[in-house]
Structure 1
Amino acid sequence: MKHFLVKTLANAGALGVAVWLLHDITLTGENAGRKALTLILVALLFGLVNFVVKPLVKLLSFPLFILTLGLITLVINALMLLLTSWLAGELDLAFHVDGFWTAVLGGLIVSVVSWALNMALPDDRD
């Protein structure tokens, strides 16, 4: 349970950094508390998308991994971020990614920041 909480907080932080750095990734809300709650809900949604959809997409695109020497990962991460944005819109969460290239850059930022936060945050897994 602690591992799930740490990953969700890391995703929320990474998504927050992407919102802060890129003006085409937006998070709207009346106040800071509402924005934080929305960010945590979007992080949960992003984690669910990465848990359910991403492995299937990676399996189906395996030949492209070999052909592009793994660079297709950037496109897959962008597509997962766009899917999260679309699902957030369907669930009336105030999170939106505007455009594919913004999603590519946002996916790169989210990946790097999430990795760094997962390294920094405590986790009791051995």
Structure 2
Amino acid sequence: MKKQITRALINTLAFFLAAQFLPIIAATPLHFLGAGIILALINMVIRPLLILLAIPLNLVTLGLFTLVINAWMIQLTSGLMPGFYVPGFKAALFTAILISLGNWGYKKIIARPN
């Protein structure tokens, strides 16, 4: 449970940072939090199935297709969260890169095993 809450907060922070550089529209900071929570739920339910189905494409692209799947998850979040809008695939892809970097940084720096 702690891991999911941490991921939702990282997603929220990444959405906020992406909105500083990209034309992501959110009416209030609560919309960023809601989008982070929805993305965490989508990543727990839908993303594993898409990763499993995309194994051949991930092998061919050496794992870079995972960023495309992450961008699709962000676009799905944009469609499900009222008041939060990601204007296109390019903005969703850059947001996916920021979220991936945030999760990587959390794993390598903060949640470092002893």
TM-score norm. by structure 2 comes to 0.86
**Do residues 56 (structure 1) and 45 (structure 2) align?**
no
Matched residue, 1:16: 16
| Match for residue 68 of structure 1 among 57, 61, 67 | 61
CA distance in 1, matches of 2:103, 2:19: 14
Matched residue, 1:99: 88
Measured at CA, do residues 122 and 36 of structure 1 come closer, stay the same or move farther in structure 2, by a change above 3 Å? Answer: farther
CA distance in 2, matches of 1:8, 1:69: 27
Q: CA deviation at 1:102?
A: 1.4
Matched residue, 1:32: none
Cα deviation per residue 1:10-48 (whole Å; 9 max; x = unaligned)? 11111111111212x1112xxxxxx22221111110001
Q: CA deviation at 1:78?
A: 0.8
Structure 1 segments, 4+ long, off by >4 Å, are 117-123
Matched residue, 2:78: 85
DSSP 3-state at the match of 1:51: helix
Q: Which runs of 5+ in 2 are unaligned?
A: none
Measured at CA, do residues 119 and 60 of structure 1 come closer, stay the same or move farther in structure 2, by a change above 3 Å? Answer: same
Matched residue, 1:31: none
Cα deviation per residue 1:66-98 (whole Å; 9 max; x = unaligned)? 11111111111111111110111xxxx311011
CA distance in 1, matches of 2:72, 2:63: 15
Higher relative contact order (CA 8 A, sep 6+): 1
TM-score norm. by structure 1 comes to 0.78
**Whose Rg is larger?**
1
